[in-house]
Chain A
Amino acid sequence: MKESVFSAIALYVQSVFRGAWSIAGSCKTALPYLIRWGDLKKEVTEGYPDPISSKTADDLPTRSRGLLFNDIDRCTGCRECETACPSRCIRVESEPGSDQAKVWVSVFDIDFSRCIFCGLCVEACQPGSLVHTKQYEGAAYAVPDLVASFGRGQITEEHRNKWAMMRKLGESDGVAP
């Protein structure tokens, strides 16, 4: 087609209307979200779980990976978690306990400033003592405060005396085998 003034004007007007149509189209696309039409009744974003949003930590999903907790009474000090940890934030030290068959987990530190909450340590934990809680607010003012200690502490002479007394009386010392 030969380029004429009229065809140029027609093209110009056409492109202007096409632009206006596209703007109106995107406005129309967003409209169902605004008035909550059909499937879009609910916001996709969820509120932060706290009293303001009337959600609590218990409302979090069952398998949510919050701060770690180690039940030291069940912990065997096997160091599987320490091995599995990719960011090396777990430090375990254990020594023989009241008798040779028992393990005294003296140090079990988790450094939350390095933890990436991947959950590999929980998977590796054979006795199931290491678990994710639903706690998620672990902020601290200093980096050393971010280390959570679950260990029983170093064995002292006092401990040994107590164990000796217990053995004499034939009582259990409560430490896992």
Chain B
Amino acid sequence: MMTSENSWIVAWSNSLGFPEALPQWLYAVVALVSVFVFVVVPSGGLMSYLERKLAADLQARVGPNRTGPAGLLQPIADLFKLLQKESRVDWSWKENLWLSVHTMALYSTLAVLPLGSMAVLVNTEMSVFLPFWSALVLALGTMLLGLSQNSVPGWFGGIRVAAQTLAGSFPALISLLCTGVRSGSFRWSALAESQGFSPWEWTVFANPFQMVAFSVFVMSGLVLLAIPPLDGGLSMSDIHGGVSSHLYGRRLSLFQFGRFYGFFFWSVITVVLFLGAWDLPAQVTVSLKAGGANQVLALLELIWLLLKTFGLMLLIVWVAKVNSRSRVDQITDFTWKVLSPFSLFALVGASLWAGWRAI
């Protein structure tokens, strides 16, 4: 699974004094757990705070301001509040099963999450497509979680989530091909190398077709993972949150955090594909590598990638907070009739553009 060029976790664990000859799988487990604990969870807390503050500002409210300075500790307070809630008694084993399948499918994408030139665990010719497999299993798990609840919101929520995922994966896959057409490969490293630090080196601004592909990719991801504003499958107003209507306490926090994680990993992938990945200015990279400061470089790359990711997420939150939520049939309609043709248009255009440049 791990290649020697990507052994960032080996370097870190050696510098912390662990023996060098640990088995490969142990390194992989440590890598996944540390990415989850040190990157995903803090990002979740930070983003939930920023999202609430941004929404409050947009609506001329104050937002969280009571826990800690300017309400900064609110995510932690929310977490403890949810953890101490009592769970339902009539919880069936089926729901447990599908909640765990759903969660495992979700976090299996951690293995393919690209977080820097030295922090890529799986870097093959098809690594870009691996998150889609997880997303489809995630949709299956979510649908069966809804169906196993034996309730109307669960049934409809499950079917709606499945419909959204099927609709969203088509334009997402097609617009994904556009980036491969430009970079010539679906390796994370090749995609990052085909771009640069400054915005005019990013894939999104390479040509108008890539711009279309970028917009389609972002929107189809929102449909695929049912993220606001395109989250009709989990709508609160008509089906009481759909699949999540029967979840309480820690199960709900697991589910909600999973939704955040879906949003986060989709934004990371979008940034890597279209918005210049983790690329720092060339001279910075070269001088840091020459000085042997690989860990500093890895950290800088991670910070730069996360900054761009948060920017993209806040942009989406802004759109989500000021627009009304679409109905699920409007979303699938929009995805099949608008996003899909536009993604095909972008693919044809990007291919012609690449062919023109090659001649």
Contact = CB atoms under 8 A, between A and B. Distances in A.
A60 B270 CA distance: 50
B259 interface: no
Interface string B36-60: 0000000000000000001001111
B319 A43 contact: no
Contacts of A16: 338, 342
Nearest to B59: A33
A23 B59 contact: no
B92 interface: no
Interface of chain A, main secondary structure? helix
| Best-buried of A23, A33, A40, A53 by chain B (most CB within 10 Å) | A33
B62 interface: yes
Range of interface residues on B (Cβ < 8 Å): 10 to 19
Contact of B60 (A23, A45, A52): A45
A27 B62 contact: no
B106 to A, nearest CB: 28
Interface of chain B, main secondary structure? helix
A40 B60 contact: yes
Contact of B61 (A26, A43, A53): A43
A95 B62 CA distance: 53
A44 interface: yes
B66 interface: yes
B323 interface: yes
Contact of A44 (B58, B61, B66, B318): B61
B66 A43 contact: no
Given A16-B338, A34-B54, A47 B322 contact: no
A30 interface: yes
Interface string A12-49: 00001000000100110110011000001001110100
Contacts of B151: none
Range of interface residues on A (Cβ < 8 Å): 10 to 19
B182 interface: no
B3 interface: no
Nearest to A15: B338
A23 B338 contact: no
A29 B60 CA distance: 12
Contacts of A27: 318-319, 322-323
B322 A43 contact: no
Given A16-B338, A34-B57, A29 B65 contact: no
B250 interface: no
A16 B259 CA distance: 28
Contacts of B319: 23, 27
A26 B60 contact: no
Contacts of B240: none
A131 to B, nearest CB: 31
B187 interface: no
A34 B315 CA distance: 13
Contact of B323 (A23, A34, A45, A52): A23
B321 interface: yes
B58 A33 contact: yes
14 contacts: A23-B319, A23-B323, A26-B322, A26-B323, A27-B318, A30-B321, A33-B57, A33-B60, A34-B54, A34-B58, A43-B61, A45-B61, A47-B62, A52-B66
Interface of B: 54, 57-62, 65-66, 318-319, 321-323, 338, 342
Given A16-B338, A27-B323, A44-B60, 11 more contacts: A27-B318, A27-B319, A30-B59, A30-B321, A33-B60, A34-B57, A43-B61, A44-B61, A45-B62, A52-B65, A52-B66
Closest 6 CB pairs of A and B: A30-B322, A30-B58, A44-B60, A26-B322, A45-B61, A34-B57
